Structures are given as C-alpha cells and as structure tokens.
Amino acid sequence: MSNSFAPLDPVSNGPSSKKRVAYFYDSDVGNYAYVAGHPMKPHRIRLAHSLIMNYGVYQKMEIYRAKPATRHEMTQFHTDEYIDFLQKVTPDNMDTFSKEQGKYNVGDDCPVFDGLFEFCGISAGGSMEGAARLNRGKCDIAINWAGGLHHAKKSEASGFCYVNDIVLGIIELLRFKKRVLYIDIDVHHGDGVEEAFYTTDRVMTVSFHKYGEYFPGTGELRDIGVGPGKNYAVNFPLRDGIDDVTYKSIFEPVIQSVMDYYQPEAIVLQCGGDSLSGDRLGCFNLSMRGHANCVQFVKSFNKPTLVLGGGGYTMRNVARTWAFETGVLVGKEMDPVLPYNEYYEYYGPDYELDVRASNMENANSKDYLEKIKIQVIENLKRTAHAPSVQMQDVPRTTLAGTTDEDEDIMADADDDENMDVRHTEHRNDKHVARDDEFDEGDEEEANLANGAFAQNGQAKQRNHTYSDVEMDSGVATPEAEVHNEIEDAPTAVTEANAQVNAELMEQKTQDATPTETLEVGPSNAPSRSDSPKPIVDDEGDVDMAEPPEAATVVWDLKPSEKLSASPTASVKDNIIANVEAAASNAEIMPETAALQAEPVVKQEGESGRQDTDVIAEASEEITEQVQS
C-alpha cells in the first residue's frame, strides 16, 4: 500500500562525520557452524569483514581482536550452572546431558555444536571489550558484528542465542555510565535484553519489531517495565512489510523523544540484518540504505555508541549492509560496485553494494503507526527526566581486566620493530602468555633475595661473611661444607676478641650483681639488617628470653637462669657463644639471645666432630688472652 511520508534522507558519510572507531573482529568466528541446514551462519561475519577490508574502511578505524570472554565474565549475568553446562557439553557427550538440555532449552533452535563455548566467548568478548574502551574514552564508537545475540536469558538459550553479549556489554557500561540506552532494529523483539533490565531505570530498552504470531511472541505496547523500571521499556510493535520511509517516520521521532527525556550517557545499537528485505526469516521490507539510516541517526547524537550485529539469515545481504554501515560510522564513501574479494561469487549476479526493497505490501497503516507513536511518547513523558543515579567510585580496571597503562603497553607490543618480518596468526597466538605466567610469587621473591636460585647460569652462592654493620642475606645450612666453617673460624675469633676488650671495659664500670631484667618486646625482634653480635644491656646482666620460633638457633637456651655475678665468667660464655655462632654459620641471633648458657654440641658425624674441635681450640686461645 502507498503511504505519503517524507522521503528518506540520503545517508551521509562524509569527512565531517568522522569518529574514533574501534572495530572488533576474530577470524576464528567464521570457523563455527551450528548444524547442517541451520539458518544461523557465523560465516556471514567473515563475509562482512572481507568487504570492509577490501573497501579500505579499515584505514579509518582501529582493528582489535578481543580476548574471548571467560566463564567468570559470562557469569556477571548468566548463572554458574548454565555456563558450566555450555562449557562441558559437546556433540559427543550431549546424550549424557539430556536432562540439562531440556532445562536450558538447548536442542532444536539452539543446537549443541563443536566449539559452542568458544563461539560464545568470541561474541561476548568483543562486546565487553568494546564497552570497556568506550568507558575509558579510547573511542567514540565500538563495532562488534559478532555480537547482538539478544534472545539469550539468564539461564536459558533462546532464538539461536546462548550467551547474551548485549547484557554483558551494558553491565560493563553501567560501571561508568549512569544511564544506558539500548535500541534494537532486529525484526525480532529483543526479549532477553528487556527482561534483564525490566526493573531498573538505569537502562532504557527500545525495540522496533514484528509483533503477533511471530517469535518470540513478546514486546507488546503495554509492556513498559515494572517497579523502578516502569516506563523504561519501550516497545513499538510492527506488522509485515514496513518500508524505509515508514520506518523512518516512526524511528526518528521516538528516538528523539527518548534522547530528550532520558538523556543517556551511552547507546547500544543492535543492527539485526533480518529486518532487511528478502531475509530468509524476516518479514520487513527495508533496503540497505533504510537500515543504515537508523545507524546514521543514532550516530548524530554524538554519544559513546556500541554497535552490534544480531539476526540476519541471507548472508550476502547482511554482509553488504554491515559493511556499508561500517563505512557510515567511519565517514567513508563507498563505491556501489563491489571490489573483488575472496567471496565475490556470493554477490552475483549484480555484484553491487546494495539491498533493494521489494514490492511487498506494507501492512502498517499511517493511523496504526500514529496511534502507537503517540502512546509511546506519552509513556516517555511519565518517566523521570534524566533519572539520577547514586554512583560510587569506579575502579580504573574494567571487567576486561586492563587499564590505560596496560593498553599503552599492549599497543607498543603490537608495533613491529622490523616491518619486513611477518608471522602467522597461529604463531603469534602461541606466544600469548597468561597474565600470571611470568609473575613471581612471594615465596620465589624470598628465595631470590636469599640467593636460593642461581642466576645467569652461575652456581648457587652462600655468603658466610659477617660485618660489624650488617649481615649478608645468605643463610648457612647444616649441610655447609666443613672447610668453609674452618676458614671462617679465625676471622670469627679475631672479631670476638675485639668484642671482648670492649665489653671488659664496659663491665668494669658496672656493678657485678645484676639488679634488673630486660623485658622482651617487639623492639627486640631480629631483623635482616641487625648485627649478629650479642648486645649487653646498659643496665647490666639480664634474664634470657626465649627466641621466636622462626629463628634457627643451635643453642639450648635457659630463659630463667641468671648469669654468674663474675664479669669474667659472663664474658667467657659470651665469647663461646660468638665463636660457635660464627663457626656453625647459624642465622642471625635475636638480641634477646645475646648471652648464652651451655652450648649444645651438634652430633652430625665427622663434620660435627670437626666443628667441636674448632670451637674448643678457639675457646682455649681466647681464654688465655683474657686471663693474661
């Protein structure tokens, strides 16, 4: 039927409409196939990408291969049990999951196929990363034609959709944006997205779709949300055969009213290609330019925009339209004659960048559309004008796990130092390391600090040299070689002798009888930089405190035993303790373990016996020096 509406505006994609555009594409997406004869064909995304590249559109945008969404990221919306099922089920073991298939609606429309979970990860990863880049201000528009799977529910697959990448992307946007607008121009109602945000005013969902005896059977005009989300769900039910001019007459005034009343901070646009004329499953009559007119109008609001794919079951038409709309978003004029590409035969017999409307009857009368439009705008007037949101401080990192600094590092890593060297994608993928692969844990750092790991091909080093100021971090062990201990003994004796002279002078000024005891507290705790030599308190002799369990000591301490009143005897015991500490390469003694009672001789065979001889000889030599 004929309708008298304003003519369709020519789609402008000149230089004045340029934006910073991030484009997400994973070449693996075309490798997945649902089942033989299934209308959903991921290969269409590869066709669209081929046109985008051969038209040179890539020169005006940044191209990314997003990290696939992880199980944890998917469960930001979906239930753990549902995602676990998608991760485990395969065509080979699906018979053992017959009960779960019924529970999660996996079967006919949503079959189990090889790589199901990986396919969902690619779709969701692109949408989440696109939202993350918008949040960080890295781009004005993010494109993920592999996304837009709007039917998936929290714990249920539906309408060829398993994981709802749109909801995951919106959740990411909501971490930084107060209000997000979702627009759906797929021929089917975006029921999964509407259901997810049906009770909140932070997301307004607007869907233009076929309503009636048509999948999914939802999206009635009076479905407007509940509770805080009342009037924030907008549904515009349509009939068969709507054309470009008619669609424009209802799309632009409704979206303009939404922008005026809701004032979103970001927009998510689902560009389902099944609303095009001649679609295998669709019933609308939009041309490529009529479809792209919606994209251009949304772009004109200059809001951060996430553009996604969706339905579309005539591959050549979907590829043409998404390639053309990519050109609209980046502001590039595109030749109506298709460039030659590896899928050129798909576009015969005309080989043109165009999808034309047919002579299909338009069942949408002017009166019908006007009544719907008036009611929709009345509902919008009942909403709070730009509803306020209580926002909290948002961490710099996003769900995708990257910061601005990470992005700069990754960007630098992408630059080839030698532009003549080319590697295959497979080789590059093999060199992608996990985030934590080269991180050193606390235990490893401690071992490195203590010289436990050999570096640069050198043998492990143990440092046994003690100084008056600090002690090296090397830790001697009972397995230390005997000759090292013997070589260290004379040095230890000399140092101990010097210590004796200083302590004798100090002891002469002290009363021989101890008058106070030193209370052990946190200040007496050993540290790596403490001197290994015992320290005599200024107040006189002290009670002995038991060292902490962590300290490795080779003496049998007696905390309650008082030292002899004789300064000489105290000094002798002190000397023996010093010599034994140096000779046995023990760890640093705590200050509270400074003065020692009887040393315990190690029983370790021949090595232990040699240790005893060294200690005895050194003790006799020092005793003679003291007595003289």
At residue 618, what are phi and psi to the nearest 5 degrees?
Answer: -65, -40
What residue type is assigned to position 120 of the chain?
Answer: C
The backbone torsions φ and ψ at residue 251, rounded to the nearest 5 degrees and listed phi first, read -70, -50
CB 232 within 8 A of CB 383: yes
Distance from C-alpha of 397 to C-alpha of 400, rounded to nearest angstrom:
8
Per the rule left: phi > 0, alpha: psi between -120 and 50, beta: everything else, 46 is alpha
- Interatomic CA distance for residues 377 and 363, integer angstroms: 22
Helix residue ranges, H only, 404-529? 404-414, 425-430, 442-449, 482-508
How would you class 612 by CB atoms within 10 Å of its CB: exposed for 0-12, middle for 13-18, buried for 19 or more? middle
Burial (Cβ within 10 Å: 0-12, 13-18, ≥19) of residue 344: middle
Instruction: Output the CA torsion sign for 182, 183, 185, 187.
Output: positive
Are 185 and 294 within 8 A, CB to CB?
Answer: yes
Edge-to-edge strands, sheet with 233-238: 62-64, 21-24, 141-144, 305-308, 266-270, 180-184, 203-210, 233-238
Closest CA to 163 of 112, 121, 132, 191: 121
Where b means 16+ CB within 10 Å and e means fewer, 525-545 reads ebeeebebbbebbeebbbbbb
Nearest to 134 by CA among 264, 42, 258, 254: 264
| SS3 of residue 328 by DSSP | helix
State the number of CA atoms in the 13 A half-sphere of 362 facing the CB: 19
The residues assigned a catalytic role are 151
Q: What spatial distance separates the first Cα and last Cα of the chain, rounded to whole Å?
A: 126
> Cα separation of 238 and 240, whole Å?
7
Nearest to 541 by CA among 525, 517, 560, 523: 517
Among residues 35, 239, 271, which one has the least CA distance to residue 142?
271
